[in-house]
Amino acid sequence: MERKDVSCDVLVIGAGLAGMAASLFALEKGLVTAQAGLPGETLFASSVLDLMAVTPIEEGRLWEDPFAAIAAEIAQNPAHPYAKVARKDIEAAFGAFTGFLAQAGMPYAGRDGRNVEILTPVGTSKRTYRVPESMWKAVLAMEEKAPCLIVDFEGLKGFSARQIAETQKADWPGLRFVRLDFPGMTGDLYVEKMAFALEGESVRQALAEAVRPHIGDAAYVAFPAVLGHYRPGKVFAEMERLLGVGIFEIPTMPPGVTGLRLKAAFEEGLAGKGLKSLFQKLVLGCRVEEDGSFLFSMGRNAEEFTVRAKAAILASGRFFGKGLKAERELVREAVFGLPVEQPKGRAAWHQKDMFDQAGHPINRAGIVTDARLRPLGADGLPAFPNLYAAGSILAGQDWIRMKCGAGTALATAYAAVNDIAAG
Amino acid sequence: MSRKPKRIETQALIIGAGVTGAGIARDLTLRGVSCVLAEKRDVNAGASGGNHGLLHSGARYVASDMEAATECREEGALLKRLAPHCVDDAGGLFVAVEGDDERYVADFPAMCARCGIEAAALEPARARELEPALSGRLIAAYKVPDASVDPFMLSLDNIADAGERGMVFLANARAAAFTVKDGRIVSTLLFDDETGEETEVVADQVINASGAWAGIVARLAGLDVDLVYSKGTLLVTQDRIADMVINRLRKATDADILVPGGTVSILGTTSVTVEDPEDCRPTIPEVDHIIEEGAAMVPVLETTRYIRAYAGVRPLFGKLASASSQDEDGGRGIGRGFALLDHARDGVVNFATITGGKLTTYRLMAEKAADLVCEKLGVAAPCLTRETPLPSHAGGKWTEPGLAPRTWLARRDPKDALLCECEMVSKGVVDELLASMPRHKSGPALLSLGLRSRIGKGPCQGGFCSLRVCAHLYDRQALYGDAGIEEIRAFLGGRWRGVSPILWGFPLMQAEFQEALHCGLMGLELHNHKSRKGGA
């Protein structure tokens, strides 16, 4: 079999949000960039971009100003990865990232320096920083508590418009709901198929006709997130035009279309920028060459080719992303065997109560780095001069409870790439 | 506060809807006695729901307790005949591995014969043909008539059968106070801890069948029941490891039984004396110990994937204890027999307690308790449960693994979507269950559905299906307002008790993903209804 050995300035390991952001930023710096990993995790993304909303999590304190929340968190917890990235770099990272997604057909909206709230599929509200444009009017509708119609579909499991309206009704009595048949589909509905179908004009028209009689006084109409897969911007604009009122999407249970859209946008957009994509390939082994560059052995199971890289960014995620592996008593880092800061022994990993306000200690475990985001070895010094870590694998944060996942991913990827480009 | 409690009059009040209470209810109604079955939570909330589901041949007790062994043999055979739909007559093996006590192995067949239990010797190689998962270090094997039984189906069917003859079942009805006058309980106050609703039951006879809570209930009448609480922890594997029940051939100790439970296997158990019957969480050290011990018999248990752990608290009646051996071994020295206490002797004439015992002998326990009640009531009708088959009932059948998938496949209704994809429980099944469930005014609907079906019992442990079922409950107008948030929190919180001790490898990845879904996206951790009613 023909081997395609690769040579690059930077190998990004991991294909979640942090990995995608690292590749984007590296390409924009003119670095020759390769990226490996399984883009599975992205498929589960809701596609909203959190920056920071809750700290201290023990108190469940919600913040409007994410940068004030970051400052408060760092003051209390200097180990948080945000302590290593300046505010201007965080803002620049968001700007570059959403700018790229807009070009790839997935524009974002938000307010500089302010968090916003959207509806979730169980009817709770979620505080976040940037949302796809298709969800922006959820923010407005919720602020105005405007009369609003939520549409759901017979056969779409786990999404009940009645549930959302009921859950919100004490605060938002103007929410109404209607259940419709999705044009041309019966039985169990799958969001991917629905989204694809809505890329066709006739299905959009049929849907608009079915919705129209129920609009009444509604200022907005909400749909589960199925408005288009590859061309969501167009589907969204067309539906809005056909209905004559503002519309917005509510995320569905994962895996949803929102994750598919992100994946498609990344893969197309990054390829267009010259990414050497090695998706579906894993790092099997690594050695350091005489000049200090890495020589990675790559493949699915056995070595298929090598990658020579002057630097690498470890953005392999946590347990679900397979960057961290939990044995019965010990957590290990999967690629380099880096030391993992962790609570000692399994009994200390989780709280007795699943929803314990303090969060689970294991979710703060991870890789410790120097100020330049280079992972530390057992001796407390950078394990390699040219290895960086970005995203959720970093220790000192609980991205799920703090609502800082996307922000941590973008900020640390941005800072790591800057350091590589400067060196 | 001063709402007037609802008042019910009946011949017999049974406290506790475990399998014993359910059995008593059926036994009494078959004799024409009216009764009320009051349960503080829901069916099988105690030890009846936290056990192996093992229908003992009796062979496990041949060395320690001949009487219990003989009772198990008789009752096991009866149940296989009268309630075959609740039983998986898988057969059982007793196996010894290198290092096990060879004296015990040698004495085993004679001890079984003494209790009338068939035990056929098998060559170790033959045993491994039957069960390839067995250790290569086997030194002896015997085949016995063990089986597994679905304790939820058993209780639900007993309750449903009694219900058809007029028995009234009250869930979420904790016995909170007795009014005792002249040595008689003249009325019992039941309290709904969810809603604060009170019900007064005026009964001629009161039977305390509250299992590990029997001491607490007896104390309401000023009486002492001397119980030792023995916690047993069990582990559920993702796959069925063995077809038959596999017992370690040695003096009964920890983690020496692997029981098939439909599509899974259940490994256990430990025996740890605890102070409080509410203290029944499986712990990490227990889980690790169970795996280590179980792997000696079935090596794949070391590496197989587990779905969850659970625990139950066995009520062991202290007076049956051989006084010296209690503390050393978590109560294993105490007999597994049952105790029927007529409190007339203690000065409360219409009150009795039945506790201890085993799942396998529940029918016998119910018979003895019902005999006492009938004697006091002056009812001459004989016990019929020894001959009358237990009918299968719509409300009980959905606990069986495989039934919901088969039904769904057979119906082929495109609108009948699967809400629980792991265990293939569809909307139609949920709707049937909703119709068959006792009416709760508030009450946790998701938990009740979970108890009556396989929902949440598969590999996702409720992570997805709790959300889908909750959405469906809103669509069916079984939930209103923001009640769904607490429903999901309570359901997932309950599953967490079982999942948290096994979080490494794949289950940890899954737990992290679910945390991202439930907390990251939905923010359920921020909706903390601290000030729930009910207090304490």
Same domain, B172 and B243: no
The number of distinct structural domains making up chain B is 3
Q: Do A362 and B475 touch (CB under 8 A)?
A: no
| Mean pLDDT across B329-351 | 79
Q: Do B509 and A322 touch (CB under 8 A)?
A: yes
CATH number at A121-250: 3.40.50
* Residue B69 forms part of a structural domain: no
* pLDDT recorded at residue B535: 29
- B-interface mutation test, from A191, A253, A354, most B Cβ less than 10 A away: A354
* pLDDT recorded at residue B528: 66
* Residue B271 forms part of a structural domain: yes
* Residue B343 forms part of a structural domain: no
Strands (E), B182-255: 184-191, 198-208, 227-237, 245-248
Q: Do B482 and A167 touch (CB under 8 A)?
A: yes
| Mean pLDDT across B27-32 | 98
CA distance to partner chain B, nearest, from residue A63 (Å): 13
Q: Do B470 and A125 touch (CB under 8 A)?
A: no
- Which residues of chain B does A169 touch, with a Cβ-Cβ cutoff of 8 Å? 481
CA distance to partner chain A, nearest, from residue B176 (Å): 27
Position A2 confidence tier, pLDDT thresholds 50, 70, 90: low
Same domain, B140 and B192: no
Which phi and psi angles does B314 have, rounded to 5°?
-80, 135
Whether residue B353 is predicted with pLDDT greater than 90 in this model: the reply is yes
Q: Do A46 and B281 touch (CB under 8 A)?
A: no
- Which residues of chain B does A347 touch, with a Cβ-Cβ cutoff of 8 Å? 284-285
Same domain, B353 and B414: no
| Mean pLDDT across B471-480 | 93
Per the CB < 8 A criterion, the answer to whether B405 and B418 are in contact is: no
Whether residue B533 is predicted with pLDDT greater than 50 in this model: the reply is no
Give chain B's length: 536
* Residue B61 forms part of a structural domain: no
* pLDDT recorded at residue B441: 47
Nearest Cα residue in chain A from B487: A122
Please give the Cα distance from B360 to B352 (Å, whole number): 21
Q: Are strands A294-299 and A305-314 parallel, antiparallel or unpaired?
A: antiparallel
Helix (H, G, I), strand (E, B) or coil at B434: helix
| Mean pLDDT across B387-402 | 83
| Mean pLDDT across A201-211 | 98
Average pLDDT, chain B: 90
Q: Do A170 and B464 touch (CB under 8 A)?
A: no
* pLDDT recorded at residue B439: 60
Please give the Cα distance from A181 to A72 (Å, whole number): 48
Nearest Cα residue in chain A from B467: A158
- Which residues of chain B does A167 touch, with a Cβ-Cβ cutoff of 8 Å? 481-482, 484-485
Please give the Cα distance from B386 to A234 (Å, whole number): 72
* Residue B389 forms part of a structural domain: no
Half-sphere CA count of B262, side-chain side, radius 13 A: 19
Strands (E), B209-305: 227-237, 245-248, 257-261, 264-268, 272-274
Please give the Cα distance from A319 to A339 (Å, whole number): 15
| Mean pLDDT across A73-100 | 98
Whether residue B330 is predicted with pLDDT greater than 70 in this model: the reply is no
* pLDDT recorded at residue A182: 97
* Dihedral angle, C-alpha A91, A94, A100, A105, nearest 10 °: -130
Domain that residue B456 falls in: 398-530
First-to-final CA distance of chain A: 37
Please give the Cα distance from B508 to B499 (Å, whole number): 9
Position B262 confidence tier, pLDDT thresholds 50, 70, 90: confident
Segment among A64-68, A276-280, B74-78 with least mean pLDDT? A276-280
Same domain, B425 and B499: yes
Per the CB < 8 A criterion, the answer to whether A247 and A222 are in contact is: yes
As given in the structure block, the two tokens for residue B355 are: 């506790």
* Residue B78 forms part of a structural domain: no
Whether residue B493 is predicted with pLDDT greater than 60 in this model: the reply is yes
* pLDDT recorded at residue A250: 97
Same domain, B143 and B174: no
* Residue B536 forms part of a structural domain: no
Please name the member of A126, A354, A405 whose beta carbon is closest to the beta carbon of B492: A354
CATH number at A6-104+260-422: 3.50.50.60
Same domain, B208 and B246: no
CA distance to partner chain A, nearest, from residue B489 (Å): 8
Nearest Cα residue in chain B from A402: B520
| Mean pLDDT across B448-468 | 87
- A-interface mutation test, from B506, B517, B526, B528, most A Cβ less than 10 A away: B526
Helix axes A405-422, A87-103, angle to 10 degrees: 100
Q: Do B500 and A123 touch (CB under 8 A)?
A: no
CB atoms within 10 A of CB A334: 20
Helix (H, G, I), strand (E, B) or coil at A71: helix
pLDDT tens digits for range B240-252: 999 999 999 998 7
- B-interface mutation test, from A355, A356, A401, most B Cβ less than 10 A away: A355
Whether residue B263 is predicted with pLDDT greater than 50 in this model: the reply is yes
- Which residues of chain A does B467 touch, with a Cβ-Cβ cutoff of 8 Å? 121-122, 158, 253
Please give the Cα distance from A166 to A156 (Å, whole number): 18
- B-interface mutation test, from A319, A324, A356, most B Cβ less than 10 A away: A319
Question: CATH no. for residue B199?
Answer: 3.50.50.60
Per the CB < 8 A criterion, the answer to whether B25 and B159 are in contact is: yes
pLDDT tens digits for range B168-187: 999 989 999 999 999 999 99
- Which residues of chain A does B513 touch, with a Cβ-Cβ cutoff of 8 Å? 44, 320
List Cα–Cα distances, B453 to B8, B281, B404, in angstroms: 30, 22, 9
* Residue B386 forms part of a structural domain: no
| Mean pLDDT across A310-331 | 96
Position A1 confidence tier, pLDDT thresholds 50, 70, 90: low
Q: Do A169 and B484 touch (CB under 8 A)?
A: no
Q: Do B503 and A326 touch (CB under 8 A)?
A: yes
pLDDT tens digits for range B88-127: 999 999 999 999 999 999 999 999 999 999 999 999 999 9
pLDDT tens digits for range A326-336: 999 999 999 99
Q: Do B484 and A322 touch (CB under 8 A)?
A: no
The b-or-e profile of B166-179 (16+ CB within 10 A means b, else e) is ebbbbbbbbbeebe
Q: Do B504 and A328 touch (CB under 8 A)?
A: yes
* pLDDT recorded at residue B447: 85
As given in the structure block, the two tokens for residue B192 are: 């709904």
Same domain, B243 and B354: no
- Which residues of chain A does B284 touch, with a Cβ-Cβ cutoff of 8 Å? 346-347
Same domain, B255 and B352: no
Predicted ipTM beyond 0.90 = yes
Whether residue B334 is predicted with pLDDT greater than 70 in this model: the reply is no
Nearest C-alpha neighbor of A332 from the set A320, A343, A344, A323: A323
Nearest Cα residue in chain A from B414: A187
CA distance to partner chain B, nearest, from residue A331 (Å): 9
Whether residue B332 is predicted with pLDDT greater than 60 in this model: the reply is no
Question: CATH no. for residue B99?
Answer: 3.30.9.10
Nearest Cα residue in chain A from B305: A328
Same domain, B352 and B467: no
List Cα–Cα distances, A385 to A297, A341, A388, A417, B486, in angstroms: 20, 20, 9, 14, 50
CA distance to partner chain B, nearest, from residue A128 (Å): 10
Half-sphere CA count of B429, side-chain side, radius 13 A: 32
Please give the Cα distance from A103 to A414 (Å, whole number): 19
Listed by start position, the domains of chain A span: 6-104+260-422, 121-250
Please name the member of B414, B489, B512 whose beta carbon is closest to the beta carbon of A320: B512
Whether residue B328 is predicted with pLDDT greater than 80 in this model: the reply is no
Same domain, B165 and B291: no
Residue at B283: amino acid letter: T
Same domain, B214 and B356: yes
As given in the structure block, the two tokens for residue B106 are: 């040698």
Choice between B530 and A249, residue whose per-residue pLDDT is larger: A249
Per the CB < 8 A criterion, the answer to whether A207 and A171 are in contact is: no
Whether residue A369 is predicted with pLDDT greater than 90 in this model: the reply is yes
As given in the structure block, the two tokens for residue B263 are: 């599509």
Q: Do A188 and B418 touch (CB under 8 A)?
A: yes
- Which residues of chain B does A360 touch, with a Cβ-Cβ cutoff of 8 Å? 515
